[in-house]
Amino acid sequence: MNTGTTVGTTPERTAPDEEAPTGPGLRSLHPWQRQLIAEHDRPTLHTQAAATTGINAGERDVTIRVHQERTWIYKVWQGDRGQDTHHLYTPVTGRIHAIGRDEAEILQAPDWSATPDATISRLASLVMPFEEPGWRFPDLPADARVDTPRVRVLMLNPTEQCNIRCTYCYYGGAYTDTRPHQTASPRADAVKAAIDLFVTGEEKLDSAPRAVYFFGGEPLLAFDELKKAVLALAERKREVGARLDNLVLQVNSNGMLLTPKIVDFLVEHDIYLNISIDGPNHDRYRVDRRGKGTHDRVRERTDWLAENRPEYFSSRVALICVLSAPLDAAALYRYFSEWPAAQRALAWDFDLILPGGDQSYADFEQIFGEQRRVWDLFVRSHRQTYAEREQSGRYHFAFSHGFLHRSFHRVLNQPEREGGARLGHLLGMQLIPGNEYLVLGSDGTLYSSYEYQSPDFAVGHTDRGIDPLAGAEQLAMFRDSVEAGSCTTCWAAPLCTVTVPEAPFRRSDSADAVREKVLTKRARCMSERENLTQALRARVDIAQEYGDAALDGHRDDWSRQRTEVARVDPFYA
């Protein structure tokens, strides 16, 4: 039967106005909010005889088991590339094991009362179940705060206005609790103050990979403000003697406003440019204020740039594509591979935005099916040598998908652990919000999130600097939500990249807001597990079909990125 509870102890429901424990002096979620999360963000559990098994949202296989008062967390899959093989991923150790069909069936069975003790012992030696009811995530230090931010990434919005109205945009109504499109730009003194925070951070960051990103709105609508910010950054670097040798400046644009004057400035100051173009689905989602498609104008400007500034285009311009339903991976490949300008660009980047909610996930199930075709293309490309793959358009297309390279690198390069329930990290979080990544709002407010530019995600103001406790409180509430929900028994937790903006629970949330955010988080979790499942499969399939040496190039890339690339996402299990 379905027990309707989570594995482990469920917190008692308390009155909405009862104060939550403050821990190290930080505001956290109310007990009733944590209880509500526990009720709605949970695996489906079944109890038969003396055994309890659990299935995560969006999955069909058993990945959670309580047997003899110990918690088993694992992931089993059968090879789907013409091989009758079965594998077991044990997140407690970070290892992948080849197992037999009988063992795979036992791990999926609801009842072990007839299973020989020797078989259970053999499986326990692989899974290494623990006595705790779920993962134990790190506690926040008692003195958690940000006094001197070590800002590696600063995001400036020259304007919050945009010349188009993409229907999936954070600021176009697809996301609640964030700002709308509006005609607003930060004051010059606020920009200079944010730049000062960035430039005068810890000295040890002087040689670290760092970046200033210009977003919006559409940043080229306020090109004069963008120019002033670039020049102010250069001036402040000179004033304080900061070298910032690995600094990257980057503009994200829809490309429609590119002119020779703008490009001259970008070239002169060595500024990278990302142009958003969604291929076959572009005009379905990227429309102007009248609902008209914008594809032809974006492509015309991109072709113009490639033709007139070929060296800049091939060394500094990337094409960014949001994956959207209905997705046709083959059509997307044809679009970019048959477009001459795209072939000359520095890079492609395909990625997915999940607005959230159960209906959203239903829409994206079709996308996941097409993503599996991309994974298959990625695996098959390893019949080539590393050097041949680097010249292969098909491999380039597959590995340019953000969901693929992020999850594959995490699976391939995860450190092995000695077992136990304690994890060394809180999902995708490494630092206190506001300590490494800052977004400047038009009124001078500093935010920890690009997606949610609202008071709940403010971490300071350019007039006052960083609030030392604001980011720590955001992290405390994130930790509360993680511990209350399905994360505590999820097999993907040691590999997960979910961060505060993707589980943005706040103490001020109403019950309806909590429920809505749970739906959003569940969709994000289902996407994360799908990507990591495919990454596990790919890791095994490549090694089985082409040898473990076929993975060496990826390991070398990871080592290089850990020291050279600002966008690398290191993690510690």
Predicted confidence at residue 145, as pLDDT, reads 86
Assess contact for 263 and 229: CB atoms under 8 A.
no
Q: What is the mean pLDDT of residues 168-179?
A: 78
Range in 29-33, 114-118, 175-179, 255-259 the model is least confident about: 175-179
**pLDDT of 45-55, one tens digit each?**
999 877 899 99
pLDDT greater than 50 at residue 15: no
Cis omega (within 30 of 0) for bond into 100? no
Predicted confidence at residue 137, as pLDDT, reads 95
**Selection from 203, 191, 194, 190 nearest residue 150 by Cα:** 203
Rounded to whole angstroms, the Cα distance separating 556 from 544 reads 20
Q: How confident is the model at residue 141 (pLDDT cuts 50, 70, 90)?
A: confident
Helix ranges (H only) for 18-76 are 31-40
Query: Where are the extended beta strands (E) located within 203-304?
Result: 210-214, 247-253, 272-276
Q: What is the mean pLDDT of residues 238-242?
A: 89
Q: How many Cα atoms within 13 Å fall on the side-chain side of residue 472? A: 20
Residues 6+ apart with CB under 8 A from 327: 281, 366, 367, 370, 371
Rounded to whole angstroms, the Cα distance separating 430 from 203 reads 20
Rounded to whole angstroms, the Cα distance separating 259 from 257 reads 6
Q: How confident is the model at residue 361 (pLDDT cuts 50, 70, 90)?
A: low
Predicted confidence at residue 561, as pLDDT, reads 57
Q: What is the mean pLDDT of residues 99-120?
A: 95
Rounded to whole angstroms, the Cα distance separating 169 from 286 reads 9
Strand pairing of 86-90 and 75-78? antiparallel
Rounded to whole angstroms, the Cα distance separating 155 from 473 reads 22
- Say which residue, 570 or 544, is predicted with more confidence: 544
Q: How confident is the model at residue 451 (pLDDT cuts 50, 70, 90)?
A: confident
Q: Is the dihedral of CA 248, 252, 255, 261 positive or negative?
A: negative
Q: Under DSSP, is residue 332 helix (H, G, I), strand (E, B) or coil? A: helix
Rounded to whole angstroms, the Cα distance separating 398 from 493 reads 25
In this prediction the pTM is 0.90
Q: State the helix-helix crossing angle for 358-380 and 511-546, rounded to 10 degrees.
A: 10
Q: What is the mean pLDDT of residues 363-390?
A: 90
Predicted confidence at residue 131, as pLDDT, reads 97
**Percent of the chain scoring above 70 in pLDDT:** 89
Average pLDDT value over all residues in the chain: 88
**Percent of the chain scoring above 90 in pLDDT:** 70
Predicted confidence at residue 206, as pLDDT, reads 57
pLDDT greater than 80 at residue 249: yes
**pLDDT of 465-487, one tens digit each?**
999 999 999 999 999 999 999 99
Can you spell out the DSSP letters for 456-507? GGEEEETTTEE-TTHHHHHHHHHHHHHHHSGGGG-TTGGG----GGGS---T
Rounded to whole angstroms, the Cα distance separating 295 from 286 reads 8
Assess contact for 432 and 469: CB atoms under 8 A.
no
**pLDDT of 332-353, one tens digit each?**
999 999 999 999 999 999 988 6
Predicted confidence at residue 362, as pLDDT, reads 63
Which amino acid is it at 543?
A
Rounded to whole angstroms, the Cα distance separating 537 from 529 reads 12
- Say which residue, 13 or 540, is predicted with more confidence: 540
Q: What is the mean pLDDT of residues 58-65?
A: 95
Rounded to whole angstroms, the Cα distance separating 218 from 202 reads 31
Predicted confidence at residue 563, as pLDDT, reads 53
pLDDT greater than 70 at residue 20: no
- Say which residue, 114 or 20, is predicted with more confidence: 114
**pLDDT of 409-437, one tens digit each?**
999 998 889 999 999 889 988 788 988 89
Range in 190-199, 233-242, 538-547, 560-569 the model is least confident about: 560-569
Rounded to whole angstroms, the Cα distance separating 182 from 179 reads 8
pLDDT greater than 90 at residue 18: no
Q: How many Cα atoms within 13 Å fall on the side-chain side of residue 233? A: 25
Task: Write phi, then psi, for 51 (nearest 5 degrees).
Answer: -115, 145
Gap between the terminal Cα atoms of the chain: 35
Predicted confidence at residue 559, as pLDDT, reads 67
pLDDT greater than 60 at residue 169: yes
Residue indicated by tokens 């007990």: 31
* Calculated CA dihedral for residues 267, 441, 473, 523, nearest 10 degrees: -70
Neighbours of 512 (CB within 10 A): 8
